[in-house]
C-alpha cells in the first residue's frame, strides 16, 4: 500500500516534468540554435551543445535589416496606443457606469458589438479607407483603430460601478469638478484594473503581426514582428541559426518580464478572459 | 450654460471611443457588405453592381470551398482537442504549491509570445530533414513525418501548433473556474461519502460548465480567424491544403485585387461569427449552471 502510493507520487512528478518539457523544450531549442554555426544546424541527428557559442549570430540577425527602425516603430505604435486608450477608455467607462443619458443603451450596445468584431474581419475595408486618406504605411494606420478598446471600457465600467457612491458625494461636496472626480477619485480606485488592462494591451499590440503586415508596405513603418518574419526569406536559403537569433531578440525580453511578473500577467489574461 | 454642459457631458465623455468604433469597426463592416455586391479591382474608378454574383461565384470556386473546409477542420480539431486537454490538465495541476505554480507558468508561457516567433520556431522544429520532431520520432522508433511539406499532414501540423499555443491559457481559465467553486459543496459530498467521480460529475462539471462554454465559444471565434501561422509557415500550401478563410480573403484582396470576391468571403466569415456570438448571448442568458 505504502510503496504503491510512493510509486504514484513518483509517476505524478514524472508526468509534470514531461508537461514542462513539452512547453520548455521548443524555447530551449530556439536558444541553442541561435548560437550555432550554419553547419551545426544542418546535421542529423541534431547537435545539442554547439562547439563554439556564436553570439555574433545576434549581430548578424540585427544587421540583416533595419531592426533599430522596427524596434522604434514598435515602441512608438504600442506606447501611443496605450496613452490614447487611457484618454478614451476612462471617460467612456465612467459615463457608462455613472450616467443615465438618452442614448446610453444604444451607445453601450454599439460598444459591445465592436467587442465582437475581430481585425481579421475589417482589415480590407479599413485598408481601402486608409488608402483613400493617404494614411497607408504610416504609424497612424497602426495606431488609430486601436485608440479605443471596447473590451477595456466594458471591464473598467464594471470596476467603476463598484466604487461607493458616498465617495463621489463627498468629492462633490468639496466642489470637485466631474473631470477631477474621474481622474483623482475613480482612477486611483480602479488602479489594479487599469494596470491589468494596460499590460494586456501592451502585450497584444507589441506582438501583433497581422495588422502591421496588412497596413505597411515599407520599412519606414514596419514593426518588429513583421521585420522578424522577413528573416524566413533571407538570400541564399534558410539560415535557421540567424532566424532563431532574430526571434530570441523578440522573445527573451517578454519571457524575462513574464517570469518576473508571472502572477500579474497570468491574472491579467485570466481575469480579462473570465469576466 | 452650465446646465447645457451638464446634459452633454456624458456624450462628450463617450464621444472619442464611439468615434473610433464607428470609424474603424462599424462603418467598415457596412462598406464590406456593400462591396460584396460589387465587382471592383481597386484601380478602376467605378464599382459595378453585380448583385449576388460574387456569392454564386464563391460557391463554385474550388479554392474558396477548400479554404472553408480547411477552416472547419482546423476549428473542429484545434478547439476540440484544446478544450479536452485543458480540462484534464486543469484538474491535474490545480494545486497551490510553488512547483505546480511553475508548471502553470510553463504551460501558459506560449500565450504571451508573438505568433511570429511561435510559427518560425515550429517551422524549425518541423523541418523534415533536420528538425527536432523527426529526431524525437526516430528516437522512439516511430516513422518520420513530412510535417508542413506534405499536403496530407500540413493542416494537422498547424493544428498542433495552435493547440500548443492555446492550451495554457485555456487551462488557467478553467483553473480560475475550479477555484471559484465554493468548498462547502465538496464538504457536503464528502459527508455523503460520494466517490471522486461522482463529485466531479455532480459538482465540478456543472459548476465549471459556464466557464467551459465561454471558452469553447471564444476558441471557435478565435480559430475561425486563423491567419498568422498559415502566412508564415505555409502560405496556404502545399496544394491549398492549409488555405483558410482569412488567408483566402487576404490573398484575393491583396494579391489578386478581386475586392468583390474578397469582401463576399468576408461577409461569409461575418455570418459565421455572428451566429456564434448570438448563440453565446442566447445561451448565456439562459444560464448553463446550477446555482
Query: Residue A54: which residues within 8 A CB-CB, separation 6 or more?
Result: A35, A36, A37, A241
For A18-32, A141-155, A176-190, B24-38, which range has the lowest pLDDT when averaged over its residues? A176-190
* CB within 8 Å: B24 and A144: yes
Residues B169-226 pLDDT 10s: 999 999 988 988 888 888 888 888 888 888 888 889 988 988 898 889 889 989 999 9
pLDDT at A42: 86
CATH placement of domain B58-286:
1.10.3720.10
Position A225 scores a pLDDT of 95
Closest alpha carbon to A114 in A71, A73, A148, A155 = A148
The whole-angstrom separation of Cα B49 and Cα B34 is: 9
B119 touches B232 (CB < 8 A): yes
Cα within 13 Å of Cα(B44), Cβ side: 11
B235: which DSSP letter?
A: T
> A175: which DSSP letter?
T
- Closest partner CB to B17 (pick from A89, A250, A273): A89
Highest mean pLDDT among A151-160, A264-273, B19-28, B39-48: B19-28
pLDDT band at A275 (very low <50, low <70, confident <90, very high): very low
Q: Which residues of A touch B35 (CB under 8 A)?
A: 124-125
Question: Which of B7, B15, B25 is the best substitution to test chain A (most A C-beta atoms within 10 A)?
Answer: B25
Question: How many Å apart are CA B142 and CA B134, to the nearest integer?
Answer: 9
- When pLDDT is cut at 50, 70 and 90, the band that residue B9 belongs to is confident
Residues B229-280 pLDDT 10s = 999 999 998 999 999 999 999 999 988 888 888 999 999 999 999 998 888 8
Q: What are the boundaries of each domain within chain B?
A: 58-286
Its sign, for the CA torsion B119, B121, B127, B131, is negative
Contact A227, A70 (CB under 8 A): yes
Using the 8-state DSSP alphabet, how is residue A51 labeled?
S
**Same structural domain for residues A54 and A77?**
no
- Closest partner residue to B16 (CB to CB) among A42, A88, A101 is A88
Average the pLDDT over each of A113-127, A222-236, B73-87 and give the range with the smallest value.
A222-236
Given the DSSP bridges, would you call strands B48-49 and B38-39 parallel, antiparallel or unpaired? antiparallel
Higher pLDDT, B21 or A181: B21
Chain B segment 149-168 residues within 8 A of A by beta carbon are 164, 168
Both A75 and A144 in a single domain?
Answer: yes
Together in a domain, A53 and A126: no
Average pLDDT on A103-127 reads 91
Q: A203 and A87 in one domain?
A: yes
Q: Is residue A227 part of a domain?
A: yes
The confidence score (pLDDT) of residue B47 equals 85
Q: Does A262 touch chain B (CB under 8 A)?
A: yes
Q: Chain B contact for A243, CB < 8 A?
A: yes
Which grid cell is B77?
A: 480539431
Backbone angles phi, psi at B214, to 5 degrees: -55, -45
Calculate mean pLDDT across residues B11-20: 94
On the question of pLDDT at B288 being above 70, the answer is no
Put residue A43 in one of left, alpha, beta given phi > 0 → left and psi -120 to 50 → alpha: beta
Condensed to tens digits (0 to 9), the pLDDT of residues A31-81 reads 999 999 888 988 888 888 888 899 999 999 898 889 999 999 999 999 999
pLDDT for the residue numbered A237? 67
DSSP letter string, B170-204: HHHHHHHHHHTS-HHHHHHHHHTT--HHHHIIIII
* Per-residue confidence band for A1, with pLDDT thresholds at 50, 70 and 90: low
Structural domain range at position A179: 65-233
CB contact under 8 A, B20 and A148: yes
pTM for the full model?
A: 0.91
- Picking from B117, B134, B211, the nearest residue to A250 by CB comes out as B117
**Burial environment of residue B62 by CB neighbours within 10 A (0 to 12, 13 to 18, 19 or more):** exposed
Residue A117's domain is classified under what CATH number? 1.10.3720.10
Burial class (CB in 10 A: 0-12, 13-18, 19+), A59: exposed
pLDDT band at B99, cuts 50/70/90? very high
Q: What pLDDT score does A102 carry? A: 81
Note whether B112 contacts A: Cβ–Cβ < 8 A.
yes
**Residue A66: count of CB within 10 angstroms of its CB:** 15
**What 3-state DSSP class applies to B85?**
helix
Q: Is A274 a member of any domain? A: no
Residue B144 has pLDDT above 70, yes or no: yes
> Mean per-residue pLDDT for B123-152?
93
pLDDT at A262: 83
Question: Looking at the structure, do residues A42 and A98 belong to the same domain, yes or no?
Answer: no
In a domain, A242, yes or no: no
Residues A157 and A25 in one domain: no
Q: Considering just the CA atoms, what is the radius of gyration of chain A in Å?
A: 24
DSSP secondary structure letter of residue A145 = G
Q: What are the pLDDT digits (tens) for A143-188? A: 999 999 999 999 899 889 888 888 888 888 887 787 888 888 889 9
A-chain CB neighbours of B102 within 8 Å are: 20
Shortest Cα–Cα distance, B110 to chain A (Å): 8
- Judged against a pLDDT cut of 90, whether residue B291 lies above it is answered with no
Predicted confidence at residue B290, as pLDDT, reads: 42
Inter-chain contact A266–B122, Cβ cutoff 8 Å?
A: no
Residue A165 to residue B232: CA distance in whole angstroms: 52
Nearest Cβ partner of A110 from B21, B111, B269?
Answer: B21
* Number of domains present in the structure of chain A: 2
Burial of A65 (0-12, 13-18, 19+ CB in 10 A): middle
> What are the chain B neighbours of A30 within 8 Å (beta carbons)?
117, 121, 124
Q: What is the pLDDT of residues A202-249, one digit of tens each?
A: 989 999 999 999 999 999 999 999 999 988 876 666 789 999 999 998
Alpha helices in A135-274 (DSSP H): 139-143, 150-161, 165-173, 178-180, 187-189, 191-207, 210-215, 224-229, 240-260, 262-274
Cell of residue A262, nine digits: 508571472
B67–chain A nearest CA distance, Å: 15
Say what the pLDDT of residue A166 is: 84
Q: Three-state secondary structure along A76-114?
A: HHHHHHHHHHHHHHHHHHHHHHHCCCCCHHHHHHHHHHH
- Locate B169 and state its grid cell: 491559457
pLDDT tens per residue, range B211-237: 898 889 889 989 999 999 999 999 998
pLDDT at A111 over 50: yes
Rounded to 5 degrees, φ, ψ at B49 are -75, 125
Residues A174 and A138 placed together within one structural domain of the fold: yes
Same domain, A74 and A210: yes
Whether the per-residue pLDDT at B152 is higher than 80: the answer is: yes
| Single residue among A42, A58, A74 that ends a domain in this structure | A58
Find, among A216, A209, A227, A241, the residue nearest to A67 by Cα: A227
Contacts (Cβ under 8 Å, ≥6 apart) of A221: A73, A137, A138, A139, A141, A142, A212, A215
Same domain as A154, residue A50 = no
Choose among B66, B26, B30: nearest CA to B155: B66
User: Cell numbers of A214, please?
Assistant: 496588412
Average pLDDT over residues B44-59: 88
Quickly state the pLDDT bin for A88 (edges 50, 70, 90). Answer: very high
Q: What angle do CA B63, B69, B73 make, to 5 degrees?
A: 140
In the prediction, which pLDDT does A274 show?
Answer: 55
Tell whether A47 and A153 lie within a shared domain: no
Give the per-residue pLDDT at A228: 93
First-last CA distance in chain A:
44
- Do A51 and A114 sit in the same domain of this protein? no
Q: B144 by DSSP, 3-state: which?
A: coil
**Residue A204 main-chain phi, psi, to 5 deg:** -55, -50
Give the Å distances, CA to CA, from B56 to A143, B23, B264, B267, B288: 37, 30, 10, 13, 39
- For the record, the C-alpha cell of B284 comes out as 448565456
Nearest to A160 by CA among A134, A140, A188, A135: A188
**B32–A124 C-beta distance less than 8 A:** yes
What does each C-alpha distance from B15 to A49, A88, A170 come to in angstroms? 58, 8, 28
Q: Is the CB of A213 less than 8 angstroms away from the CB of B231?
A: yes
Regarding whether A29 and A110 lie in a shared domain, the answer is: no
Look up the ipTM and state it: 0.90
Distance, C-alpha A141 to centroid of its chain: 18
- Does residue B134 contact residue A45 with C-beta atoms inside 8 Å? no
Answer whether B125 sits within 8 Å of A26, measured CB to CB: yes
Chain B contact set for A57 (CB, 8 A) = none
Looking up cell 499590460, which residue turns up? A199
Residue B183: per-residue pLDDT: 87
Contacts of A214 in chain B (CB under 8 A): 250, 254
- Is A256 contained in some domain? no
Q: Is B284 a residue whose pLDDT tops 80?
A: no
Which of B54, B30, B48, B14 shows the shortest CA–CA distance to A129? B30
Residue A14 lies in a domain: yes
Amino acid at each position: 500500500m505504502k510503496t504503491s502510493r510512493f510509486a504514484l507520487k513518483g509517476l505524478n512528478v514524472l508526468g509534470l516534468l514531461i508537461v514542462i518539457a513539452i512547453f520548455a523544450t521548443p524555447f530551449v531549442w530556439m536558444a541553442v540554435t541561435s548560437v550555432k554555426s550554419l553547419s551545426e544546424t544542418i546535421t542529423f541527428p541534431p547537435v545539442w551543445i554547439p562547439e563554439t557559442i556564436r553570439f555574433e549570430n545576434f549581430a548578424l540577425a540585427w544587421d540583416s535589416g533595419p531592426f533599430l527602425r522596427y524596434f522604434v516603430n514598435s515602441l512608438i505604435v504600442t506606447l501611443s496606443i496605450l496613452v490614447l486608450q487611457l484618454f478614451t477608455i476612462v471617460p467612456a467607462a465612467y459615463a457608462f457606469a455613472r450616467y443615465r443619458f438618452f442614448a446610453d443603451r444604444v451607445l453601450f450596445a454599439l460598444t459591445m458589438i465592436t467587442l465582437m468584431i475581430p481585425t481579421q474581419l475589417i482589415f480590407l475595408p479599413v485598408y481601402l479607407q486608409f488608402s483613400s486618406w493617404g494614411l497607408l504605411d504610416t504609424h497612424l494606420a497602426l495606431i488609430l483603430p486601436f485608440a479605443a478598446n471596447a473590451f477595456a471600457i466594458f471591464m473598467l465600467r464594471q470596476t467603476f460601478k463598484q466604487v461607493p457612491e458616498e465617495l463621489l458625494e463627498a468629492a462633490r461636496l468639496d466642489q470637485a469638478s466631474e473631470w477631477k472626480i474621474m481622474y483623482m477619485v475613480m482612477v486611483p480606485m480602479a488602479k489594479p484594473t487599469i494596470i491589468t488592462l494596460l499590460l494586456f494591451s501592451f502585450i497584444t499590440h507589441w506582438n501583433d503581426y497581422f495588422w502591421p503586415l496588412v497596413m505597411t508596405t515599407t520599412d519606414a513603418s514596419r514593426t518588429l514582428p513583421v521585420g522578424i518574419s522577413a528573416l524566413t526569406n533571407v538570400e541564399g536559403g534558410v539560415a535557421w541559426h540567424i532566424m532563431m537569433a532574430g526571434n530570441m531578440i523578440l522573445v527573451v525580453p517578454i519571457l524575462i518580464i513574464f517570469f518576473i511578473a508571472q502572477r500579474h500577467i497570468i491574472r491579467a489574461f485570466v481575469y480579462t478572459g473570465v469576466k | 450654460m452650465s446646465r447645457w454642459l451638464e446634459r452633454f457631458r456624458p456624450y462628450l465623455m463617450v464621444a472619442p471611443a464611439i468615434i473610433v468604433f464607428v470609424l474603424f469597426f462599424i462603418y467598415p463592416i457596412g462598406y464590406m457588405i456593400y462591396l460584396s455586391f460589387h465587382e471592383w479591382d481597386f484601380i478602376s474608378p467605378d464599382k459595378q453592381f453585380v448583385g449576388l454574383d460574387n456569392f454564386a461565384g464563391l460557391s463554385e470556386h474550388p479554392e474558396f470551398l477548400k479554404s472553408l473546409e480547411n477552416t472547419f477542420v482546423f476549428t473542429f480539431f484545434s478547439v476540440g482537442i484544446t478544450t479536452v486537454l485543458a480540462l484534464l490538465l486543469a484538474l491535474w495541476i490545480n494545486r497551490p504549491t510553488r512547483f505546480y505554480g511553475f508548471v502553470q507558468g510553463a504551460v501558459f508561457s506560449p500565450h504571451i509570445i508573438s505568433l511570429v516567433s511561435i510559427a518560425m520556431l515550429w517551422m524549425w522544429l518541423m523541418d523534415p530533414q533536420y528538425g527536432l520532431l523527426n529526431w524525437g520520432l526516430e528516437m522512439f522508433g516511430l516513422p518520420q513525418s513530412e510535417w508542413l511539406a506534405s499536403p496530407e499532414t500540413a493542416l494537422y501540423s498547424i493544428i498542433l501548433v495552435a493547440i500548443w499555443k492555446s492550451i495554457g491559457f485555456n487551462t488557467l481559465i478553467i483553473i480560475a473556474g475550479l477555484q471559484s467553486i465554493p468548498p462547502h459543496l465538496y464538504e457536503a459530498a464528502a459527508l455523503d461519502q460520494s466517490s471522486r467521480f461522482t463529485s466531479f460529475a455532480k459538482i465540478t462539471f456543472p459548476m465549471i460548465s459556464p466557464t467551459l462554454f465561454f471558452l469553447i465559444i471564444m476558441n471557435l471565434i478565435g480559430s475561425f480567424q486563423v491567419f498568422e501561422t498559415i502566412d508564415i509557415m505555409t502560405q496556404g500550401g502545399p496544394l491549398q491544403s492549409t488555405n483558410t478563410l482569412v488567408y483566402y480573403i487576404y490573398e484575393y484582396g491583396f494579391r489578386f485585387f478581386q475586392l468583390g470576391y474578397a469582401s463576399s468571403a468576408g461577409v461569409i466569415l461575418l455570418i459565421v461569427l455572428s451566429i456564434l456570438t448570438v448563440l453565446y448571448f442566447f445561451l448565456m442568458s439562459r444560464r448553463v449552471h446550477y446555482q
